Structure 1
Amino acid sequence: MKYPSVLSNFILLFCLVSAECGTILLSAMFGEGSHFMASAAIAESLVKRGHNVTALIGQAYAEQANNPRFAPIFDFKLFDHGVEPEVFREKFKVINSIAFEKSSLKAHAMAEELRQHMVISCELILNNTTLLKELLSIDVILYDATWPCALVIKEHIRKAGGRDHQRDIPVVSVLPSTPASLYIKAAGSSFHFSISPDVATGYSNRMSFKERIFNVLWAMMIDMFASAQFSPYDKYLSALGSDKTLFDLFRSSDLYLFNCDFAAEFPFPTTPNIIPVGGLTTRPSLPLESELEDFVTNSGDYGVVVFTLGSYLTSMDSDILEMFAQAFERLPQRIIWQLRDRADIKLPNNVKIMPWLPQNDLLGHPKTRAFMYQGGNNGFYEAVYHAVPMVVIPFYGDQHDVAARVTSRGLGKVLDKFSLSVDIIHSALTDVITNDSYSKNIQRTSAIFRDHDMNPPDTGAFWVEHVMKYGGSYMRTPVNDLNIIQYYLIDVILIFIFSTTLVMGLLVCSCRFLIGCICKRRKEKVE
């Protein structure tokens, strides 16, 4: 890895006087977007602790290797996608065309295409012998569970040493979304469907009878979807001579880092190998660029509203753009809007558009009054960290879950993307900005969230170091080794039923015998 000389000397000194240095493989999707930024924050903290990080990213996002934040500290390894990088990036732009559609068919088709690209990319990595040789020296794997190829790489490294020199590498799974029953159960913990809404349901922890029914049925569907997602990788494991499935490897992870925090998350019981590290991308705000700072500062007492619909949804149909623009024109606040393609609409004087936003830094600015966005998990915790009320417009997936947490805790308002209008947008922002209850609720939640000894990335890094030293098997419950009869105590219940039935039968027979004897004696006396 190539470090600046000062950083290299510091890391070398750190390694000599503290714990043994290790090499961490970071695999977070393809190296782009919120998933990568969350896991990279943990890796960044590990570098500060003296470890080396090898980051696995796709050719489509090779520019990440030049990111001034990560380039000096990560050793980037690139892999192919099977298509040209430009073609691969274009596939994600379909989000712009389907975000406001009522039919979910295109969204499902996009998800399926993404899944196929994940499998193809993994196969290309496994066929790249040069890359695999460079990964043989890693000591621990830190990966985003959305793309499980890292588990196959782990098995390859384990098998590479031969039968007599197999090396079992600790694996840390990062769960980037709101808690899902699939992941919680895989970790060996229990999931209570009566009080814990599953991922992408949009429910709170106080569900009606109908919602609890759907919650259970939806969990079954997620299990089937997961089977379809994991099973294509099993052939690669079989080719390595492994008798395990990918899901077996996932369930045997040493640690599970959940991107949630109970300051804002619905409470649920966990096992010791589940560590909440919600808010991985939160940090104190940095100064804004001079032009942007002037725009924000000159907003006066009214302040600014930060508006973004995510990294990929940065262009929309002109009629939708006009609707937002008209709503913003009626506000006294200034609006900072993430938008790449403005489609020749007329922008109000109080609106500034930018292709990319320094989101965390804007949310931490004292002039920021509200945050309107699509409901991403990272953005949610950044708003909580900086105590900024929210207006959420969820589109799909766990964005609906974030919306449920916002409304349940009184941190803001939620708008239906199919019911948007100029009046509704204006009214929601005005209410969130002027109603003190939202501000008080999020300030309290923010205070609870900040009341930790370590920040989320440092917490994650601490636990990664911990499993490097001791492994994580001691924290794993044997629940996944039980069959369905043992897990639900069906055999014990049957024994209880049998024993109770036997005792009751004996009691009935005894009573009948005694009654018969008594009746017989009375009859003899009468005669």
Structure 2
Amino acid sequence: MANTSLLPRRQSLVPFICFCVMIFTLPSSQGGNVLITTSLGEGSHYFVGKTIGKYLVKHGHNVTMLVSKAYAHRAENPDDAELNFIVFHQSAEQIESVKERHLSYSKNALEPSGAAYLYKLIQAHRKGAADDCDELLGQNPDVMRRLEEGNFDVVVYDMIWLCSLMLAMKLNVPAVLSSPMAAPTMLSMYAGNPVNLAYTPDVMNGYNNKMTFFQRVNNVIANRVLYSLLEYHHVPYNSIRERHQIRPDLSGSIANLVGTYTDLFLVNLDFAVEFPLPLNPNIITMGGITARPASSLPNDLEAFMQSSGDGGVILFTLGSYVTHIKPEFLEPFAEVFQRYPQQKILWQLAGEHKFKLPPNVKTMPWLPQNDILGHPKTRLFIFHGGNNGFYETVYHGVPAIIIPLTGDAIDQGVRLKHHGFGIVLDKTNVTVDILRVAIDAILNNDSYSEAAKLLSSRLRSRSMHRVIALHSGSTT
């Protein structure tokens, strides 16, 4: 339940609340100032926040993105010129800590998933994220002055970094939580949304909505373990809040204030693919926010796509969080790709590699994923199971192979398998033979492609995506 002390202030923010509820309606007649914070400016979380910001700008609002100096290059991207950026200073030591934490996703990606794995990730990020917050609030007087003088009407914050919530409290403006993950049980803990764990699978446990009795018992236990781990992760923010005297008039821990101070929860899920569950009006679905009709590819990429002939193109990526991984894990991919000379392969691959690549493979450190998935030559998407990529492949009707590596990827794998538009592989057992069987199954069995196209039509029929297509000049 929202904090009743905030009700008078909210009345002047009705245009913003209405916009968040109907984010793709006609432009508002009175633009406002919106501050968006993400996971310091990196990864899929940043791309979701940036996309929300761009749609807000299209509807007449002024948007400012807050990013860390570790990712200051975001402010220099000409494609994001319509957004304003504020970069907060961090010491060289803390910037190194930020980069090291980002690399921890790669270092731990091949470990078995479970509570121990999640605890290890939380440990890797817990203190560092709190130190980032301490630096922002206590060692960036110029930035804090700019924020306080920015006359922001609302802060849209990412659930991964709750310092953003404290920033909204300090600026005394409403807060809107944005979740790039489709994590209904996690959000429900905070948003006061009813959840029945008998048919709503918790995040990262690999269940669908048809659970056995023992799976239901485990689902309840996993939910309590997750809640405890999140409480543990948020504890350092409480001392930071006390040290910086942020709204001492508001009672409760930071974890409690996520629910009592936040006005609205935006979640990246859609019931075109999500298992059914009830949602309170304060939770707004925006599933596939980064998916849109494909734009034209750069000339060199378009030439590569066209060179594939009837065989088409396989897209392979491990995402923006897993950028460095053991070469032993990647070598089977290079070997199996050479067994498909009739196909071309686009591989998002960062850094150097010692294994030999076949001539039908093109590697790039970054790829326009959505635009490639929307290209008529794309036949298959092999990826790590990120939520953005999941919705983009659904939107474009491309069958997929998911190898869940980290975070909520296992949940996307469950939905992929449930809807029958792809295959899920175990990250601890990826061999040439296993890859070959999976690729052959999808390329030679039309049922996967047909299931993908059916889901695509469902997702594209949603009002949000009809308006996205309209803004993009597409009628499909």
Look up the match of 1:321. 330
Look up the match of 2:141. 129
Look up the match of 2:290. 281
Look up the match of 2:465. 455
Q: Distance in 2 between matches of 1:103 and 1:268?
A: 25
Structure 1 residues 256-295: aligned runs within 5 Å: 256-295=265-304
**Deviating more after overlay: 314-323 vs 387-396:** 314-323
Aligned-pair CA distance for 1:130: 2.5
Show CA shifts across 1:459-480 (max 9, x none).
9xxxxxxxxxxxxxxxxxxxxx
Show CA shifts across 1:31-63 (max 9, x none).
111001112111111111111112110111000
Look up the match of 1:412. 422
Give the letter aligned to residue 186 of structure 1.
Y
Look up the match of 2:412. 402
Look up the match of 1:114. 125
Aligned-pair CA distance for 1:115: 2.0
> Scaled by the length of structure 2, what TM-score is found?
0.86
Q: Distance in 2 between matches of 1:188 and 1:287?
A: 43
| Matched residue SS, 1:93 | helix
1:43 aligns with 2:76: no
Q: Distance in 1 between matches of 2:294 and 2:394?
A: 13
Look up the match of 2:308. 299
In the alignment, is the contact (CA less than 8 A) between 1:308 and 1:338 conserved in 2? yes
When residues 231 and 100 of structure 1 are mapped into structure 2, their CA distance, relative to the original with a 3 A threshold, is closer
When residues 224 and 97 of structure 1 are mapped into structure 2, their CA distance, relative to the original with a 3 A threshold, is closer
Is there any run of 5+ residues in structure 2 with no aligned partner, and where? 1-26, 470-476
**Deviating more after overlay: 266-275 vs 78-87:** 78-87
| Matched residue SS, 1:281 | coil
Structure 1 residues 444-523: aligned runs within 5 Å: 444-455=454-465
Structure 1 residues 59-208: aligned runs within 5 Å: 59-80=69-90, 83-86=93-96, 88-102=98-112, 108-127=119-138, 128-136=140-148, 137-158=151-172, 169-208=173-212
Aligned-pair CA distance for 1:395: 1.4
Aligned-pair CA distance for 1:259: 0.3
When residues 456 and 171 of structure 1 are mapped into structure 2, their CA distance, relative to the original with a 3 A threshold, is farther
Is there any run of 5+ residues in structure 1 with no aligned partner, and where? 1-16, 159-168, 460-527
Q: Distance in 2 between matches of 1:237 and 1:49?
A: 34
When residues 292 and 256 of structure 1 are mapped into structure 2, their CA distance, relative to the original with a 3 A threshold, is same
Larger radius of gyration: 1
Aligned-pair CA distance for 1:100: 2.4
Show CA shifts across 1:86-145 (max 9, x none).
553244224333322459767744432222111111111111333222222211010111
| Matched residue SS, 2:464 | coil
Show CA shifts across 1:493-527 (max 9, x none).
xxxxxxxxxxxxxxxxxxxxxxxxxxxxxxxxxxx
Look up the match of 2:240. 236
1:440 aligns with 2:444: no
Look up the match of 2:29. 19
When residues 395 and 457 of structure 1 are mapped into structure 2, their CA distance, relative to the original with a 3 A threshold, is farther
In the alignment, is the contact (CA less than 8 A) between 2:201 and 2:208 conserved in 1? yes
> Scaled by the length of structure 1, what TM-score is found?
0.78
When residues 323 and 182 of structure 1 are mapped into structure 2, their CA distance, relative to the original with a 3 A threshold, is closer
**Deviating more after overlay: 200-209 vs 405-414:** 200-209
Give the letter aligned to residue 181 of structure 1.
T
Q: Distance in 1 between matches of 2:159 and 2:348?
A: 28
- Which of 205, 215, 234 is equivalent to 1:211? 215
Q: Distance in 1 between matches of 2:132 and 2:177?
A: 19
- Which of 247, 256, 271 is equivalent to 2:255? 247
Show CA shifts across 1:398-421 (max 9, x none).
100000000001010000011211
Q: Distance in 2 between matches of 1:314 and 1:31?
A: 16
In the alignment, is the contact (CA less than 8 A) between 2:127 and 2:236 conserved in 1? no
| Matched residue SS, 1:346 | coil
Q: Distance in 1 between matches of 2:352 and 2:144?
A: 44
Structure 1 residues 349-368: aligned runs within 5 Å: 349-368=359-378
Q: Distance in 1 between matches of 2:131 and 2:294?
A: 39
Aligned-pair CA distance for 1:318: 3.3
Aligned residue-pair number: 433
When residues 81 and 406 of structure 1 are mapped into structure 2, their CA distance, relative to the original with a 3 A threshold, is farther
| Matched residue SS, 2:463 | coil
Q: State the identity %.
A: 39
Q: Distance in 2 between matches of 1:314 and 1:456?
A: 34
When residues 77 and 456 of structure 1 are mapped into structure 2, their CA distance, relative to the original with a 3 A threshold, is farther
- Which of 68, 83, 91 is equivalent to 1:58? 68
1:224 aligns with 2:236: no
**Deviating more after overlay: 450-459 vs 260-269:** 450-459
In the alignment, is the contact (CA less than 8 A) between 1:45 and 1:458 conserved in 2? no
